[in-house]
Structures are given as C-alpha cells and as structure tokens.
Amino acid sequence: MDRPICSYCADPAVFVERASELHLCGAHLKESVERRVYEEIQRYTISGTLGVAFSGGKDSTALLAALSKLQKKLNISLIALTIDEGIAGYREETIAHAKQVCMTLSIPHKMISFKELFGRDLDEIMSASATSNACTFCGILRRRALEVLAEREGISIITTGHNQNDIAQTFLMNLFSADLKKMVAGSFGTEGSSRFSMRLKPLFAVSEREVTIYGMLAGLFAELVECPYAHHALRGEVRSMLSDLEYRRPGATSNIALCEREIRTELLRRREATNVSPLIPCTICGWPGSGEVCQVCTILSRKEVK
C-alpha cells in the first residue's frame, strides 16, 4: 500500500487530520502546530515575559518548544516554571528531563518545591492522609506553588500545556458533576484578584496526538514514567469514551473544546450565574480565596496532614 503523501508537498505524511482529511508531513505539521499556538496567543493582549508551567512531560515540553520558536514573532521572552511536588520514583526523572530541555532550548528555568513552600512534600502529605485522591491535593497546592513562583519572578501570565483532548475531557467531567464553578475556576486569574496570574492554554487547538508527534519531531520527546498517583477513574473513562467518539465521529473532540470556550466565556460574562462570590484574603496565609480560609490552608491544617 502506498504511503500517504502530505497535502502540501511530496513528502510522506506523518499525521492525518481525519475530520478534514488533511495529510501533513513533519515540516508541515510543525508549521501547523506553531501557527495554531501563535493564533491562540494572539487572541489576548500580552507582552513581556511569559511563564511556562513546565513539568517536563510531553505537553509542556511541546508547548515550551513551540513558544521558543515563536518568541521573536510574539515579541516575548520565556521562563520555564517547574514545581517539584516531591513524588519519589517519578519527579526525579521528569525534573532531570525538564532541566535538559531548558538547556537545549536556552530557556531560563526556575523551580520551587512543595517541601520548600509548604514544609512537606506530596508523598509525606499522602502518607499521613486518610484520602487516596492525591490529585485533588496536588492540583490545589501546585496551583499555589506556581503562583508563588510566578510572583517571585515578576510574571503575570502563565501558559499551561493543556491540549485539546485535556480541555474536552475536563469539560465533560465538569458536566458530569454539574460543576459550573469549576468550569470557570481557572479563568478568574486577572478578574478575581490582581494577585493571580492570567492563565493561557496555547495548545487549545492542538490535539494530543499532534502534541506527541510535534515533541518527537523537535527531538525532545522522552518516554517518562507515569506519576504513581495518576489513576483518576473518571478521567480515564472520559478519555476512552472520547477517543471512541473521535474515531467514529472525527472532529468531535475539537467541537467539544470549542463549546467549552464559548460556554466558559459566557459564564464569565454572567459571573453571577456561577454563584462565585468575590475573592477575599485568607485569614491564615493572606492569599485570595473564596472563604475565610483558602483551600491550601484547609489542606495543610487537616489534622492528619500536619
């Protein structure tokens, strides 16, 4: 059987966009990914230095590589921001990869650890905790750690490596739990409090497969161990449901992601509809939150994690 050829040149295709039947060779896939990242960033008014939340995993690696290619065109500079949650057998390897990628791309790299910031790493918190849902604690603490690191570096915009599949999955998970607040939670940045950074997801229009191939083409892909706590049952179900749907109905994932954006934008416009009250300073740490005690201090003051 003949190998499919790129729709734009005579080179062999490395990726097929099934919804449009577009075939792309390596060079045209890279160009296409970088164009979409550029267009996504152009939706906002940004300047100065962008922080890149950089775990060292495939999504944030692809994001850093694409942004480093676009730095000049966007007239921005970059700092990679890595959080060391303190997860034995996992974080050492990803942090080593993160350092290597930053050196290769000549991007300044800053790190902060849970241990430094909260006095305990995630493993210690989890071994003392009665709950097994590490991701809930990790997500809340990591978000704060990222804000602290960004504040320390004088950064007010943080880009994250969420790809189109992540966005569609999260949207469906929030729908299944009827959680409108969560749907807009990550968007409050600049609106909710000037202390929070603005968050951008430049891979909004890039699928997980494209991200993986882009990382490989950039020579930065590494097969890394998975986080030992990563067993979110609902996300796994939604991921396989969505990939099945995408197979039968090409384009479904991107349509869901587009709907997510429209709904989130509308919810933000009608903030009162989400029942989100104005943020107030936490009585313990002073960071803005929705109650007297913020989520971070609530976790850290739980008897079993002290």
User: Footprint of ligand SF4 on this chain (CB under 6 A)?
Assistant: 85, 134-135, 138-139, 227, 229-230
Work out the angle between the directed axes of helices 252-269 and 164-176 (0-180°, nearest 10).
60
Tell me the C-alpha distance between 110 and 117, whole Å.
14
- Cα first-last separation, the chain: 63
Q: Using the minimum distance from each CB to ligand SF4, give the nearer residue, 71 or 298.
A: 298
Q: How far is the CB of 227 from ligand SF4 (least distance, A)?
A: 3
Tell me the C-alpha distance between 210 and 29, whole Å.
8
CA nearest to 75, candidates 42, 111, 30: 42
Q: How far is the CB of 136 from ligand SF4 (least distance, A)?
A: 8
Q: Using the minimum distance from each CB to ligand SF4, give the nearer residue, 94 or 156.
A: 94
Q: Using the minimum distance from each CB to ligand SF4, give the nearer residue, 27 or 117.
A: 117
Contact (Cβ atoms closer than 8 angstroms) between residue 195 and residue 288: yes
Q: Using the minimum distance from each CB to ligand SF4, give the nearer residue, 25 or 300.
A: 300
Q: Using the minimum distance from each CB to ligand SF4, give the nearer residue, 12 or 236.
A: 236
Q: How far is the CB of 123 from ligand SF4 (least distance, A)?
A: 10
Q: How far is the CB of 143 from ligand SF4 (least distance, A)?
A: 10
Tell me the C-alpha distance between 260 and 164, whole Å.
10
Tell me the C-alpha distance between 66 and 217, whole Å.
11
Q: How far is the CB of 225 from ligand SF4 (least distance, A)?
A: 11
